[in-house]
Amino acid sequence: MEGKKKYALVTGGSRGIGKAVCIALAKDLGYPILVNYRSDSESAEETKDIIVANGGEAEVLQFDVSNQIETNLQLITWREQHPTGVIEVIVNNAGITRDGLFMWMEKDDWKKVIDTSLNGFYNVTKPLIQDLLRHRYGRIINIASISGVKGTSGQANYSAAKAGLIGATKALAQEVARRNITVNAVAPGFIQTDMTSGLDESELKKLIPLNRFGTVEEVADLVCFLASKKASYITGEVININGGVYS
Ligand SMILES: NC(=O)c1ccc[n+]([C@@H]2O[C@H](COP(=O)([O-])OP(=O)(O)OC[C@H]3O[C@@H](n4cnc5c(N)ncnc54)[C@H](OP(=O)(O)O)[C@@H]3O)[C@@H](O)[C@H]2O)c1
């Protein structure tokens, strides 16, 4: 694997946290970026254009992380088209919410959230892990949530998916550490994105010691650090980034 061109893949890189992570990984660490998205091709192209305008390299890669067949096919095709490339950084960021009290929660809302955040981690990471093991270096960063750490009322599905992702992070970290691959989770609190745009920030910020929602750039800086050589001895960790909120 010596001499291979090294790439970073960010799922859900078209908007929000994922977009900021794509831009930061290209700018700060110089990775060519694979910008994954599900449906919003315009935003994905915009992420790519920003990276290129900053002097970086990027390509967009459309697949739905919750669809194992589609994800597998796209990643295997990418590999065949890039025989001299290796995806050495994987940021499992794609996630959705379908909030509601458990009592009223439909099976579909439970399933879609688990399929995206938790099964998406499996669907994306599984086809890439063997290459990483052979490469003897890698960074896997899973975007979890404060909900997966403490549980959030009205988000039993999302809390379960993110808690599951944290468990998988800790287990996989132990399995691959000998090959110099680190696996960590980042657990954001309230971050200003489309996902939280319906929330009343002026009310909710009273619950946050730092008295504001976080920015996508703040999360991206943390992900960049974990993706860098500077974080070589950190693995199996869950790093909270929430402005001081603890239950
Ligand atoms: N915002 C917060 O306060 C917060 C807090 C804690 C954790 N998080 C987590 O951080 C991650 C990013 O959240 P965000 O706030 O940036 O969300 P967002 O603004 O809603 O963006 C979500 C991104 O994920 C993509 N995506 C969704 N489902 C997908 C799928 N099945 N396959 C591929 N891509 C998919 C979307 O792509 P398309 O646009 O193409 O659909 C979009 O790029 C999520 O995992 C979320 O749970 C967010």
Instruction: Determine, yes or no, domain membership for 191.
Output: yes
Distance between CA atoms of residues 61 and 75, nearest Å: 9
Comparison of pLDDT for 2 and 70, the residue scoring more: 70
Averaged pLDDT score across all residues of the chain: 97
Query: What are the pLDDT digits (tens) for 168-224?
Result: 999 999 999 999 999 999 999 999 999 999 999 999 999 999 999 999 999 999 999
Q: Which residues line ligand 1 (CB under 6 A)?
A: 11-12, 14-18, 36-40, 43, 64-66, 93-96, 116-117, 143, 145, 188, 190-191, 193-196
Q: What is the DSSP letter of 20?
A: H
Which of 9, 10, 15 has most ligand 1 atoms within 8 Å of its beta carbon, as the pocket-test mutant? 15
Residue 135: its pLDDT value, please?
A: 96
Q: What six digits make up the tokens of 181?
A: 């691959």
Decide if pLDDT at 107 tops 60.
Answer: yes
Structural domain tally of the chain?
1
Q: What is the pLDDT of residue 3?
A: 85
Angle at which helices 107-135 and 68-81 pack, to 10 degrees? 30
CA of 148 to the centre of ligand 1 (A): 15
78 located within any domain: yes
Mean pLDDT throughout 120-140? 98
Indicate which CATH number applies to the domain containing 190: 3.40.50.720
Residue 247 has pLDDT above 70, yes or no: no
How close is the Cα of 88 to the center of ligand 1, in Å?
21
* Exposure of 170 in the CB half-sphere (CA atoms within 13 A): 8
Task: Tell me if 221 is assigned to some domain.
Answer: yes
Q: What is the predicted pLDDT for the residue at 2?
A: 63
**Domain with 226 in it:** 5-241
Tell which residue, 107, 154, 129, 119, has the closest CA to residue 9.
129
Please report whether residue 60 resides in a domain: yes
Kindly state whether residue 146 falls inside one of the protein's structural domains: yes
Q: Is the pTM of this model over 0.95?
A: yes
The answer to whether residue 158 is catalytic is: yes
Tell me the CA–centroid distance for residue 182 and ligand 1, in Å.
23
Asked whether residue 246 is domain-assigned, the answer is no
Domain presence at residue 49: yes
The amino acid sitting at 129 is I
Q: What is the pLDDT of residues 65-105, one digit of tens each?
A: 999 999 999 999 999 999 999 999 999 999 999 999 999 99
Pick the atom of ligand 1 nearest to 188's CA.
6
**Whole-angstrom Cα distance, residue 208 to residue 245?**
6
pLDDT > 60? residue 1 = no
The pLDDT value recorded for residue 246 is 79
Catalytic residue among 7, 158, 233, 246: 158
Q: Give the pLDDT confidence score for residue 131 in this predicted structure.
A: 96
Query: Does 247 map to a domain?
Result: no
Residue 184 identity: N
Question: What value does the mean pLDDT take over residues 22-31?
Answer: 98
